[in-house]
A = this chain, B = another copy of it.
C-alpha cells in the first residue's frame, strides 16, 4: 500500500480562512503608538476560549522534528477553545488541517508557514499536532486553560497515513 502524499501550499489568510486565523503583520490594521516609536499590528486574532470554566492563557511549546518522512496518522481538535501558535524563532513550519467531519488521508490539507506567521485554529477544527522543519522550535501558544473536555483525537486505521512532503530548499 502506498501512502497518499500531502504537499503543503503556502499559508495565506484566504487559504486558511476555513480553519481559523493567520497571524501576520502583512495586511493588518496598524496604529502608531508610544510617541511614534511603536507600530501596533492590531487584533491579528481574538481568542475564543471564554466559558465558565476556562480562561485564556499563555504557554510555550518546544517542538522537536519528527523523523522523515513525516507520517500523518492521526488528527485532533479542541471543541471548547481556539488555539493559537506563534513561532519564537524565524524558521518555516508546517500546518495540517482537515475540513471533513471525520479526517482521513484523502481529506487532509497542508500549509507551509513562514517563521513570521502564526495561526489560530478555530474551535473544533481538525489539525495535526505541531510539525516543524528545523530540529527544534519554540512557539508561544495562547489557548484555553481550565477544566473541561477539550481534546478529541482520531487515529487512522493501522498502516493508513499520509506522507507529508517537506518542500525542497527549506
A residues with CB within 8 A of B: 23, 25, 28, 33-35, 37-47, 49-50, 55-66, 84, 86, 88-90, 116, 118, 120, 129-130, 138, 140-142, 145
A58 touching B45, Cβ below 8 Å: yes
Chain A at the B interface: SS class: strand
Contact A129 B37, CB 8 Å, known A55-B47, A56-B47, A86-B88: yes
**What separation, in Å, do the CA atoms of A59 and B45 have in the docked complex?**
7
Please, which residues of chain B bring their CB within 8 A of the CB of A59?
40-44
B44 touching A60, Cβ below 8 Å: yes
Contact A50 B47, CB 8 Å, known A37-B129, A42-B59, A88-B88: no
B129 touching A38, Cβ below 8 Å: yes
Query: Which residue of the partner chain, among B23, B38, B43, B90, contacts A63 with CB atoms under 8 Å?
Result: B38
**What separation, in Å, do the CA atoms of A1 and B45 have in the docked complex?**
47
**What separation, in Å, do the CA atoms of A61 and B41 have in the docked complex?**
6
Minimal beta-carbon separation of A136 from chain B (angstroms): 10
**What separation, in Å, do the CA atoms of A46 and B56 have in the docked complex?**
6
Please, which residues of chain B bring their CB within 8 A of the CB of A61?
33, 38-41
**What separation, in Å, do the CA atoms of A51 and B155 have in the docked complex?**
39
Minimal beta-carbon separation of A42 from chain B (angstroms): 5
**What separation, in Å, do the CA atoms of A59 and B56 have in the docked complex?**
15
Contact A129 B33, CB 8 Å, known A55-B50, A145-B43, A145-B46: yes
A64 touching B49, Cβ below 8 Å: no
